[in-house]
Amino acid sequence: MRAIIVEDEVLARQELTYLIQTHSRIKIAAEFEDGLDALKYLQTDTVDVIFLDINIPSIDGVLLAHNISRFAVKPYIVFITAYKEHAAEAFEIEAFDYILKPYSETRIRAMLQKLEGAIAAGSRQGEEGPVKLGSDKVNLWKNEKIIVVDADEIYYASAQEKTTSVITKGEEYSMALSISEFHTRLPQEQFFRCHRSYLVNLSKIKEIIPWFNNTYLLRLRDLNAQVPVSRSKVKEFRQIMRL
């Protein structure tokens, strides 16, 4: 069971970490003072639960929770705040629980017991806890938001230094992943690594154009773009496409 804490008050964060470690088997994978930093972390790392303060820099906790609610894999959210008036909004987002400061050890211990039970039940039955919507859903990053799309909406992806650009019919997204890492998140039978710097959705190929050195350029439906097939991938590509 993995969790992150998003809390900009150092003492409050330390106290919560102590209580979690004392009264549960939940491992604190990371701690953040800033909502945007937490969102970037969650783009590439999966956790079971987020302990989330509402008043944090960059992105407040409620906005961050709204973004998290669009994830293909949804962690539990436990809001932590000093203000009771946020409770209604927190539960509209379907938060697991809502903890007020200053912390009550008894209250937190009870919450952690309930949380561990819910996570365990979810992992066994798939009815509660972080739910995977299937390999056909992919989280993509744009304008400091996570956008959930069907994998089939992706036409191709290209490596851009330390990031990967992901192209759909009408949008371009940036992922803080290598193209190899991103490829593992896609349906393997549908997406082909045609070049060191490119992968392509085989179902979107419109034309296969012979190119120099017995390689190919791929023209895709709906896009004014060409994707190369490298020499090292030609044999495999021909087998897949029955050329």
Q: What pLDDT does residue 12 have?
A: 93
Task: Categorize the per-residue pLDDT at 223 as very low, low, confident or very high, splitting at 50, 70 and 90.
Answer: very high
Q: What pLDDT does residue 58 have?
A: 84
Contacts of 114 (CB under 8 A, 6+ apart): 97
Q: What tokens were used for 235?
A: 């044999």
Most confident range (mean pLDDT) of 19-23, 68-72, 183-187 is 19-23
Q: In the CATH scheme, what is the code of domain 137-241?
A: 2.40.50.1020
Instruction: Indicate whether 123 pLDDT > 60.
Output: no
Mean pLDDT value across residues 74-99:
74
The answer to whether the pTM exceeds 0.85 is no
Closest CA to 156 of 142, 171, 141, 167: 167
Domain layout of the chain by residue ranges = 2-125, 137-241
Which of helix, strand or coil describes residue 28? strand
Residue 198 CA to residue 229 CA, distance in Å, equals 8
Q: Lowest mean pLDDT: which of 78-92, 109-123, 143-157?
A: 78-92
Render 134-158 in DSSP notation, one character per residue.
-TTEEEEEETTEEEEEEGGGEEEEE
- The 8-class DSSP code of residue 1 comes to -
Top-level class of domain 2-125: alpha beta
